[in-house]
Amino acid sequence: MTPEELLTVASRVVEKAGNDEQIEVACSHGRSTSIRAYEGEVESMTTAESHAIGVRVLVEGREGFASAGSLDDDVVGEMLAEARDNARFAEADPHVGIAKPDGVDAVDIDLWRDSVAEMPSADKIDLALNLERRVRDADERITGVRAVSYGDSMGSFALASTAGITAATRATSASLSVQALALDGDRTQTGFAYDGAREPADLDADRVVDRAVSHTVDLLGSTKPKTTTVDLVLDPHLAATVLGLVAGTLTGDRVLKGRSPFVDRVDEVIAAETLTLIDDPTDPDSLGADSHDGEGLACRRIPLVEQGVLRGYLHDSYTGRRSGAGSTGSAVRSTRGLPSPGLQALSVAPGEGSLESLIGGVTEGLLVFNLAGLHSGVNPVSGDFSVGVSGRMIRDGQLAEPVNECTIASTLQRLLLDISAVGGEVIRLPNGVSTPPIVIGGVALSGAA
């Protein structure tokens, strides 16, 4: 279905609102392809199509929600009735309400590529098979490929509400991923790499092969290092991981609940002067780009940290009301879920120098290949940070021995303040983050005694 057709469905439900009701309706339609290959053969190929509707009804501060995986007329009617019924039993909250127009105009972004639908399945299969072959042939030390996959999606979304908000968008994406293997005595070293783009032609298979192979073979012979203090060098992929964790603590819901280490710190220095973080879903080159947020408000460029100073938080309409700051157009949602504030397209302002030049400026450090245990090793409330790492030691600006079975420990607050360099080569990553490499000084590395 087109976004316009979905908007028609949503608008018809909104027209049924009673005098005392606020109604918001989101509808979506998507198609996807997923291909997995193994040892030169197609292991699985799945194509799927989905429809969804989510209905919010608000009466006197009470909110009811219902969702379904069908847009049939009888199902849509049932969802409206169910949402109304759920609202009857909800507790009243003075801050609950649908978003209201705020006068910000949406940017015109083209996120759709016809080639995703037009590309024959055989060509998509070839992308996966060729990636596996190239990884196997890239280095004689590669002994196998655990998993290789190709995926793509095409999605349309529409939203209408009794506040007069309407939004209709569509987008496509494609991805490649692979995990390479190499025997290392009685161990197996692995290297994972992934790329995403708006269409298959923009996927960078060369970069995927290089990263997967190098992160596998460069760890051969790795040992546990001695406990010491190092400068961490993070390539754009891992810089995005760490800085994404930080930005994830700057949402209105976390702040209002006191579950962020950066509560009540607006206009304070929280990072090194070299760091500027912006959430910018209006950037058409980001895979996190969009014209509207999950409540139909226009997306906009939101400064989070400017030259080390915290400038604000990300809000949806609910947290915007509770905090008095207003929505920042940062509501994220699935059609079948309620909106909440969230990061959409994090952008890190570039500094100077390539990854190689950053390594060259480090006397004693670690070029990180992998971060393990992020979900259990990072406390988003206190900021405590302790995760497993592997990579290559750096000595006097040169890559040295590979290491694993070690841990880095700090806090998110300390990591931000200890950023000593930000590179100048920005890479746009599949998760929507655009970032250069960074160096974090003086991090405790725990290994052998």
CATH number of the domain residue 129 falls in: 3.30.2290.10
| Same domain membership, residue 309 and residue 275 | yes
Bridge partners, residue 38, by sequence: 41
- How many whole angstroms separate alpha carbon 290 and alpha carbon 169? 8
| Same domain membership, residue 183 and residue 66 | yes
Structural Rg of the chain based on CA atoms:
24
Bridge partners, residue 44, by sequence: 36
pLDDT at 448: 79
Q: Which residues of the chain have pLDDT under 50?
A: none
| Same domain membership, residue 360 and residue 337 | yes
| Same domain membership, residue 275 and residue 139 | no
| Same domain membership, residue 274 and residue 171 | no
Q: Which long-range contacts (CB under 8 A, 24 or more apart) does 369-374 make?
A: 369/191, 369/215, 369/218, 369/219, 370/215, 371/238, 371/241, 371/242, 374/241, 374/245
Query: Reading across the β-sheet that carries 302-306, which strands appear in turn?
Result: 309-310, 302-306, 277-279, 346-348, 434-435, 427-428
338-374 pLDDT, tens digit per residue, is 999 999 999 999 999 999 999 999 999 999 999 888 7
| Same domain membership, residue 172 and residue 69 | yes
C-alpha pair distances (Å), 309 with each of 119, 169, 300, 376, 392: 46, 34, 20, 28, 32
Picking from 186, 217, 248, the residue at the C-terminal end of a domain is: 217
pLDDT at 292: 97
Phi, psi of 327 (to 5 degrees): -70, 145
pLDDT at 431: 84
As given in the structure block, the two tokens for residue 103 are: 């006068």
pLDDT at 380: 84
pLDDT at 127: 97
pLDDT at 19: 87
Q: How many domains does the chain have?
A: 2
Picking from 170, 189, 217, the residue at the C-terminal end of a domain is: 217
| Same domain membership, residue 232 and residue 188 | no
pLDDT at 375: 74
Picking from 217, 249, 269, the residue at the C-terminal end of a domain is: 217
Closest CA relative to residue 24, chosen from 349, 240, 317: 317
| Same domain membership, residue 438 and residue 315 | yes
pLDDT at 158: 97
| Same domain membership, residue 235 and residue 328 | yes
As given in the structure block, the two tokens for residue 220 are: 């051969």
| Same domain membership, residue 209 and residue 69 | yes
Alpha helices in 257-365 (DSSP H): 317-323, 355-360
Q: Which domain holds residue 422?
A: 222-449
pLDDT at 225: 93
| Same domain membership, residue 368 and residue 263 | yes
| Same domain membership, residue 283 and residue 189 | no
